[in-house]
Structure 1
Amino acid sequence: MTEKLYAPLPTTAGGFKTVLADPPWRFQNRTGKVAPEHKRLGRYATMSLDEIKALPVNDVTAKNAHLYLWVPNALLPEGIEVMESWGFRYVTNIVWAKRRKDGGPDGRGVGFYFRNVTELFLFGVKGHMRTLDAGRRQVNMIETRKREHSRKPDEQYSIIQNCSPGPYLEMFARYPQAHWTVWGNEADEDITPQGKVYKGYEGGEIESTPPLENHERLTKDSEIAVGKLLRDEYETGKSIKDLAAENDYSIARVRRYLNLVDTQLRPQGRTPSVQYNN
């Protein structure tokens, strides 16, 4: 299947230093709704584990290189196998937490044992190469809303480029990016990737503040998103006390979120004057 569906891997002088791959994993239950090749759902063709492992990634990468590999939660062992077959050792992972509009977990995920609201982004190293300086500050979580089936968050590209050096290769690419060499049977810009866009899966920013317990914390990206929402309300004239009551947040939490997005806070006890046109 590999030879029929895909052209040979591209090469570059000295080898690619960073590879991003989102293989078309094949699930054991190929008729269920989680199966990508389900005929009625019309998503995409898949490859066997052996076919994925046989891809000569080791031959086109530099002596020291990084690999970012998407793998479904249920296929974590297979993901580790693929990394090793490609010449990389597993180091750590980034978790994609799929969110609703209000920032809460998107419970529409599928799974035989639990509803999956996360997906794993494995990070591997070939040879010896640390992440760039930005990697020391990068948290290992991406929190965004889901898009069409199998499409990964665009935030992955900025994270990778900030943390790992080029030249960059994206395998099984579907939405080509600037500064990346792409490879895959849907990588051509003239090809429309398979995967229907369902209502509520259009991606985008968090649009309302999520309910939180007093002790519950969001990641930095989600705190910034919520802070922006609170700032918009605050700038209409609402007080911090109003925002705390409306969202069932503590005053300290509201103040911290507002400060996080550089909100110009009014002196306590004052609200802006409102002008009315006759």
Structure 2
Amino acid sequence: MDYDSSVAGSEVPATCTKHAMVSAQDTPPTKKVRATPDASTAPAPPCSSSRTAVYPTPPPDRSFRVHIKPTTRFDVTTIPVKLVQQVIDRCLGTQGYQGFVIHKVSNTITVHLASLDDANKVCSITSIPISSDGTVTVHSYFASGPNVQRCVLYDLDQNDSPAPILRELRSPTHEVLAVRRMGKSRTYLVTVQGSSTVPERFYFNGCVLHPKPYRPRVMYCYRGFKLGHQQNYCPRATVDPERINADGKPRYRCGLCKADDHEIT
């Protein structure tokens, strides 16, 4: 009787040891199988809190966008998202609307919508509650959609508000969706829907108007010295005395570089 020296105190027949060695050599190699992680090591699913629920990736069918921005110097990121959702629900007749984004840089709220009718409804929003006893006045306007272009009309009647201009402005090739005055000038931004190009002409009270394509410029704030919004919509309460004079006007043409040899780029 032989003994296996690798196992002290155990009696193993020599024939059994030899058979085990031969069987191990004849066994074909097997592929390594990656173990499936158990529940304790598996990655956690994405958070589904109520705050992240109102910032989803817009569905493909929601291709119309409406921008909402305050008319006064107010930070829209301080508005509770639940209050914004309730305003949209009352406007559209929905419950728990999913599909709006709050932009900190531009200080705006973008609502993604599925139809032009819904976009027109959201454009009627003029205020958003910020507390139980306070509201902030906002301006809502149509931003983009399928086959939607924006163009600029110059030298319109200065006393006309956008509402009567929208009623009287006609295009033989496009549908006029929105008209917005740019600042206090006689220039108006017109949003139309039709072909992939801007209209060749408009008719306004019998007058033929030729539009120019709208090319948005870089928006720069001389109050907070940030890109993305204008000074009128800056939420900052204070200004930088190194860049602003006592009369409130900027010291430099380019506040980013503190230089006068170029505009802001």
Structure with the greater alpha carbon radius of gyration: 2
Normalising by structure 1, report the TM-score.
Answer: 0.19
Q: Which has the higher strand share?
A: 2
Greater RCO between the two (CA within 8 Å, min separation 6)? Answer: 1
TM-score using structure 2 length: 0.20
